[in-house]
């Protein structure tokens, strides 16, 4: 039981990390395909991501010591489960608690979410959802049959055709359960109003800030890891100077990317993802774009580079950002105050656009 709990936690951790990496692209795609991001759709995709990793953690892990594995032989009899159920019924006690019957039920239950997610999130039909379930199960079983594709000298888990059947049945049942979800909430396709402007709310502005923070954090982490690996390859991965270079890369790379994007478009990556922009005002466009950068994640990251005793200014910047978010209309915040501009939906044609 403890092992199953640990595998579940591992799936949650990996799913959470993958979710952080994919968060900004997910928001951007949602706003372009469906015109926005609903809470329940976000929860469904997050659950699907964790479920994806749970399939692999529960079917392949833990990986055993190659010197201690016991080779197994495949079960290719598709009717073996009938004999297992018959023996369970013949034995005294509760049939449903019999290990063999319980394994059949769990194999169905494990793939039930897959069929549901394929129908609800991908918008595919029952046949496609069932075939996807079959394909995923076949890949898992083949991975076990080949000893994780040659990583082990022989199969340490049983390739079972009954598992293939029950997994596929689970995907079929899950796809049928998806009929309970209204048709307009199923699928990845564009909605009719995806290109229509939506009201600008404080929540959308908060999502912009979250996208900028997560995006900069992910890019900074990738840049830092890449520089650290490069330094280690060059034999310079130790010492305070190397650590400082890694930290600088983790800050300056996202700063450079956000600066280029804002100077080119007038919008941060978060603005682009959530379909918002700043409009109006009398300030020259070039200056407004620099101030948009300074009033957002770019300013915070640059302040974080200051040495003592000025490094505390980054925290002050966060406090001011939070206060301005709540004190300004629709959360236009510090960038709106610095540029003298209002926050609008990027799909909205303003009077300034018409005049231009």
Give buried/exposed letters for 201-227 (b at 16+ CB in 10 A, else e): ebebbebbbbbbebbbebbbeebbeeb
State residue 93's pLDDT score. Answer: 66
Q: In the numeric block, which tokens belong to residue 160?
A: 């079972």
Residues 24, 273 contacting (CB under 8 angstroms): yes
Cα 35 to Cα 29: distance, rounded to the nearest angstrom:
9
- pLDDT in tens for each of the 356 residues of the chain? 446 677 778 888 888 899 999 999 999 998 988 888 888 888 989 999 999 998 888 888 778 888 888 888 888 888 887 887 777 777 766 666 667 778 888 889 999 999 999 999 988 899 999 999 999 999 999 998 888 888 888 888 888 899 999 999 999 999 999 998 887 777 766 665 667 788 899 999 999 999 999 999 999 999 999 999 998 888 876 778 888 999 999 999 999 999 999 999 999 999 999 999 999 888 999 999 999 999 999 999 999 999 888 878 999 999 999 999 999 999 999 999 999 999 999 888 765 554 44
Nearest to 348, CA basis, from 330, 327, 322, 325: 330
Looking up tokens 């009954």 gives 162
State residue 284's pLDDT score. Answer: 93
State residue 2's pLDDT score. Answer: 47
Cα 199 to Cα 215: distance, rounded to the nearest angstrom:
24
State residue 40's pLDDT score. Answer: 84
Got the DSSP string for 176-214? HHGGGS-GGGSSSSPPTTTTS-----HHHHHHHHHHHHH
Burial of 248 (0-12, 13-18, 19+ CB in 10 A): middle
Instruction: Find the helix or strand (DSSP H, E) in which 344 lies.
Output: strand 342-345
Cα 202 to Cα 255: distance, rounded to the nearest angstrom:
25
Nearest to 186, CA basis, from 128, 260, 257: 128
């Amino acid at each position: 039981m403890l092992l199953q709990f640990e595998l579940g936690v591992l799936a949650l951790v990996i799913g959470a990390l993958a979710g952080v990496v994919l968060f900004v692209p997910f928001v951007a795609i949602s706003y372009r395909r469906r015109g926005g991001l609903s809470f329940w759709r976000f929860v469904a995709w997050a659950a699907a991501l964790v479920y994806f990793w749970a399939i692999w953690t529960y079917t392949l892990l833990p990986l055993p010591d190659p010197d201690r594995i016991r080779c197994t032989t495949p079960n290719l009899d598709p009717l073996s489960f009938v004999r297992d159920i018959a023996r369970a019924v013949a034995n005294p006690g509760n049939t449903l608690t019999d290990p063999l019957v319980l394994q059949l039920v769990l194999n169905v239950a494990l793939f039930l979410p897959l069929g549901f997610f394929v129908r609800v999130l991908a918008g595919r039909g029952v046949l496609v959802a069932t075939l996807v379930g079959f394909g995923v199960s076949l890949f898992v079983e083949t991975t076990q049959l080949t000893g994780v594709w040659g990583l082990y000298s022989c199969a340490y888990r049983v390739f079972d055709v009954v598992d293939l059947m029950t997994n596929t049945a689970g995907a079929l049942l899950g796809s049928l359960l998806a009929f309970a979800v209204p048709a307009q909430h199923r699928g990845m396709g564009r909605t009719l109003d995806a290109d229509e402007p939506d009201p600008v709310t404080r929540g959308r502005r908060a999502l912009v800030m979250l996208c900028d923070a997560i995006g900069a954090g992910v890019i900074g982490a990738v840049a830092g890891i890449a520089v650290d690996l490069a330094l280690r390859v060059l034999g310079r991965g130790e010492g305070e100077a190397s650590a400082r270079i890694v930290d600088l890369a983790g800050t300056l790379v996202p700063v450079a990317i956000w600066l280029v994007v804002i100077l080119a478009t007038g919008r941060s990556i978060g603005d682009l993802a959530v379909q918002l922009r700043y409009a109006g005002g009398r300030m020259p466009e070039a200056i407004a774009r620099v101030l948009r950068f300074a009033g957002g994640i770019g300013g915070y990251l640059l302040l974080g580079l200051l040495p003592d005793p000025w490094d505390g200014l980054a925290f002050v910047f966060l406090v001011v950002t939070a206060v301005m978010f709540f004190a300004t209309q629709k959360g236009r915040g510090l960038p709106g105050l610095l540029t003298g501009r209002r926050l609008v939906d990027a799909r909205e044609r303003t009077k300034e656009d018409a005049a231009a």
